[in-house]
Structure 1
Amino acid sequence: MKKALLILISAMLALALLAGCITQDTGGQTNRQGSGDDQKQIITCRYVLPGSAPTDIDVVEPMINEAMQKAGVNVELKREYIPWEAWEQKTNMYLSTGEVFDLLNVMNDIIPISSYVSRGALADITDIMNQYGSNILATNPDIMMDAVKVNNRIYGIPAFWVEFSHSPEMTIRLDILRKYNLPVPKNMEELTETFEIVMSKWEGPEKPYIPIIGAQTTKFGLAQKGYDSWPFWVYDNFIYVNQHGMVANYFETEEFKQDCKWARLWYQKGLIHPDVLVFKSDQLNAQLDSGNWFIHAGTIGSIDNIKKNYPDITVDDFAFLNFNPEKPNLRPYGTRNMNAVPKSSKNPEAGVMFINWLYANQENYDLYMYGREGIDYEKTGARTRKVLLKEGQSVPAYFADDWMIGNIKYLRTSETTPTATIEMLYTIDTTAVNSIAASFTYDASDVMAELANVRTEIQASIAPIACGVVDYETELPKALEKLKAAGMDKVINEYKTQFEAFRKK
């Protein structure tokens, strides 16, 4: 009897030990091996994002998961990269078929978050954010959180990686000014005169035309901050909104007329490329990288490539031109980039918990965004880094994109980023004014056909006017007729209707 009892107890112990060693993966949940207080349930966060995975993601991702779980965040991150050319098609398929995943990268300028919500594709994470998102809420001002709300409910997690209140953007080369013994221009008239002098004295076969892609140009807005009507903004390249709530076709405004006046003057003076309408993006990038430019309507991310032709150039050889410092900058957007939880997620809290961990401290952010210190990057200052490359590589073996999920509080700029760029993009502008449309997202799903036709017509009829190639007075009336035939009025009226409803909430 005792022998039989001992056999029975031994068998039961064996079964118990065997059960304790089994792990399960159901519904996105994984039970860690162990028992009692040591046993913890790990939930999966399947994160779908565009682009290509970094080479060493399989090495660094387990390090990220280990760090999260050591911090008590029982989430296992699994990223799935979808090539850019297949992004919209595949994510739309995932959302329409109920594919189970937990976090989706959203680019508001491609498909707005309101469009996803109207399709019933996203989960309302308001309560989850209040429970698990304390760091997210602490690192994002109200304008950022408002940008991810629909009907006052939270449907996304903002990527507050850059300060948007920096337009009109004008970066000027101080080394060129010193070379020709010229002062920094204080207004558009002085800039025009200075540019003419630089152009006449420029050495080398490649002239320093202002780098713009004519076919994509809808506004030549360098002087906009000096207009009496400032502040205002042009959304989607053609919808004018001022701080009084006026919505209009930008091409019918006085501001567009003034912009075209400057563009025409610069084109006639030879400051805009004579073949600007066929100038391509690869040509623009090559011009910026070569250093064959004097004034740029944008910012410069790194001086690495410029140094090949200008070896003595430094990060302090650039300045941001602000011709009207007495006027506030306008912040047109809360954020254009965010991440959302699909309604199909079995663990809707997983994505919030992961990003909340990411924003907890600099160490977490550095690991996820920049990888292994000493292998993928080196810290060169409190908020700067040096990118480390393996032989034959143009990008680190591991990195993540700040624009997808980053936060300005923790972002590290490259040590080769111009000081002017850091001041413009990565420093919060405490004096900026938020646009009254900053938190509004236009849902164009009901006018998609008209919108496509309008954009095509803008490129054909407006771009030559906007970059100064043809005369405003002669060509604009014909262009406006074509835009109306394409459906411009319907697109603008739909925007007005939605915007007025938004303002009443």
Structure 2
Amino acid sequence: MKKGLLLGLTLTLVTTVFAGCSKNGDAGSASTPAPGSSASATKTPGKPQKVRVSVWDRSNSPDGTKITDSVIVKWIQENALKEDNLEVEYVPLPRSQETEKLNVWMASGEAPDIIITYNADLVFQYAEQGGVWQLDELLDKYGADINKLIKPALDTAGTYKGKRYAIPAFRMSQAAGPSMKIRQDWLDKLGLKAPTTLDELYTVLKAFKEKDPGGVGKENVVPWAIPAINQSAKGFFFGPMWGAGVNSEGPGIDLYMPTGNLVSGQFHSSIDTQQGKEFFAFMNKLYKEGLISKEFVTDVNSQKYTQQYTSGQAGFVDSNDDPWSLTVNTRKTVPTAKWVTVMPFKRSDGSQYMQKASSYGLFNMVPKTTKNPEAAVKFLNFLAKHINVVQSGIEGTHYKVENGLRLPIDPDKNAKEIGWYLGDLNLLTQGYMGPPTKEQLLKMNTNPEYAELLTPFYEQFEKYGKEAPFIDSPRPVAQKNIVNLTKYGYEALSKAIIASDFEKEWTNTLDGWVKLGGRDYDKEISEKLAEMKKK
């Protein structure tokens, strides 16, 4: 799964409690000492080895606290020094400028000792250029807990030409990723049902705009809240675009939308399909009628998007957020708000499609400029030993264990103190082992609405989700063109959505894609998928 799906996957209050939902929830973890206490291992003698670690900078702190000053970062720094004699420094990596910043770091030799990306093509590029350490022997020597914790991900991803150049995060539940949500309280007020097709979505959005069921003023209603379509965004095009007939049957440019369709063995990126054109014509129509956020092109950090749904102005979103967390956040302003899951839209052939998370997510790499690559692997192994801390916080402070479940002690405190960044410190796992059952959800929160809203959210992935293929062989065309194609895709598709003459602009969009090597990019994917099929 490319980073568009992932999964980002920022940690919500829902997911923080799931670390203990399965037998393997604590795989590889050690007993967690409280901050300030003696660590379980003896401090390694000698001068500490410094490890500089990348961490996403999402500019999402609720109170201005820097992630580098957060309570869990301080816990990690203190205990990594005590246990493994590692001096840990976190280096912020802007989420909205990931690839550009990484390339600058690598070119200048100033990259941290652990760099992160969701982009497998970038892993291949750095490996091909000799810019990152081969990790097989280091992982065998220093990564016992890593191997124990994330073996399924290691078996699937992170290699290039048969050698390991990245340690992937293990997505412990594939019931995760983007999905559509809608305001049930708005539907109820208008006597409408949740849309089941793209055409029905248009009808519902138009009703939201014209009838203002939230009482926010017609000029303030945002029927579909959506930010810029880049990698820092919290709102996506996945669900509606899948409903238009675009699939995710191969890797794609790094935008939060379906990758493309495989037709008679040939892969076509979504931008170069008839279904893709029809979808963006639909988005152009929504824009002209004021049914999507007018400011989406410039909302690169999702600030406007967040304000729109939390203030109660928005009626529909497509995002990684679950309906419970959306409901909780919106109810701070609108006590009657209720977000529910919208099941995948029925397409023209009657099918329903969505993508579920792959077994891997984030990739951890160690640049060749790192003088002590063993220290980087030791640090990741430290995280594996204490995976419970970066999954759920500190036991007794942030959560308690009951019936094998980690339950938050004070959800509001957790949201402010750790919820906005904890998932970004967890470089080795994403999600938890298996989706929770309704019974588990009821145990985790006595409010029956909690299970009511979350049960269909998880069930949709089990019923309709398909995993995208992972190509682990060299893709030189992608390595050469992916950055330019992604930048172009963001700019060109944004222009198409707001164009006064869509047909003219779409012709320009497709011409530019071809000139930048888009069809050569697709041809390479077709060849690689064919090679995989023969194996």
TM-score, with length taken from structure 1 = 0.69
Residue of 108, 125, 138 corresponding to 1:115:
125
* Structure possessing the higher relative contact order (Cα contacts under 8 Å, 6 or more residues apart): 2
Larger radius of gyration: 1
1:475 aligns with 2:502: no
In structure 2, give the amino acid aligned to 1:310.
Answer: V
Structure 1: stretches of 5+ with no match in the other structure: 1-37, 70-74
Aligned equivalent of 1:337: 362
| Partner-residue secondary structure (3-state), 1:405 | coil
| Partner-residue secondary structure (3-state), 2:319 | coil
1:204-232 Cα deviation digits (max 9, x unpaired): 22213211236769995544445667453
Bigger drift between 409-418 and 264-273 goes to: 409-418
Q: Structure 1 residues 342 and 425 mapped into 2: Cα distance closer, same or farther (>3 Å)?
A: farther
Residue of 176, 190, 201 corresponding to 1:191:
201
Aligned equivalent of 2:80: 65
Aligned equivalent of 2:306: 285
- 1:82-481 equivalences under 5 Å are 82-84=91-93, 103-109=113-119, 112-130=122-140, 132-140=142-150, 142=152, 145-161=155-171, 169-202=179-212, 203-205=215-217, 206-213=220-227, 220-226=237-243, 230=247, 232=249, 235-236=252-253, 237=255, 240-242=260-262, 245-267=265-287, 270-273=290-293, 277=297, 281-300=302-321, 302-303=325-326, 304-313=328-337, 317-324=339-346, 327=352, 329-331=354-356, 335-343=360-368, 348-360=373-385, 364-373=386-395, 375=397, 377-379=398-400, 382-385=405-408, 386-387=410-411, 389=413, 394-396=416-418, 400-402=422-424, 404-407=426-429, 408-409=431-432, 429=462, 432-437=465-470, 439=472, 447=480, 451-452=483-484, 454-455=485-486, 457-465=488-496, 467=497, 469-481=499-511
**For the Cα contact (< 8 Å) 2:471–2:528, is it kept in 1?**
no
Measure the CA separation in 1 of the matches of 2:381 and 2:340: 36
Aligned equivalent of 1:20: none
Residue of 61, 70, 90 corresponding to 1:81:
90
**For the Cα contact (< 8 Å) 2:165–2:365, is it kept in 1?**
yes
Aligned equivalent of 2:51: 46
Aligned equivalent of 1:12: none
**For the Cα contact (< 8 Å) 1:267–1:469, is it kept in 2?**
no
Bigger drift between 226-235 and 165-174 goes to: 226-235
**For the Cα contact (< 8 Å) 2:178–2:320, is it kept in 1?**
no
Measure the CA separation in 2 of the matches of 1:483 and 1:116: 24
| Partner-residue secondary structure (3-state), 2:306 | helix
1:463-496 Cα deviation digits (max 9, x unpaired): 233x375454343223333444455456556666
Structure 2: stretches of 5+ with no match in the other structure: 1-41, 58-66
Measure the CA separation in 2 of the matches of 1:195 and 1:359: 45
**For the Cα contact (< 8 Å) 1:447–1:490, is it kept in 2?**
no
Q: Structure 1 residues 184 and 83 mapped into 2: Cα distance closer, same or farther (>3 Å)?
A: closer
State the 1:287 CA deviation.
Answer: 0.6
State the 1:164 CA deviation.
Answer: 6.4
| Partner-residue secondary structure (3-state), 2:277 | helix
1:287-308 Cα deviation digits (max 9, x unpaired): 1221211110213363454122
Measure the CA separation in 1 of the matches of 2:248 and 2:104: 41
**For the Cα contact (< 8 Å) 2:175–2:357, is it kept in 1?**
yes
1:329-365 Cα deviation digits (max 9, x unpaired): 43475544122234455654444444345445xxx32
Measure the CA separation in 1 of the matches of 2:466 and 2:419: 40
- Aligned sequence identity (%): 18
Measure the CA separation in 1 of the matches of 2:375 and 2:164: 16
- Give the CA RMSD over aligned residues: 4.9
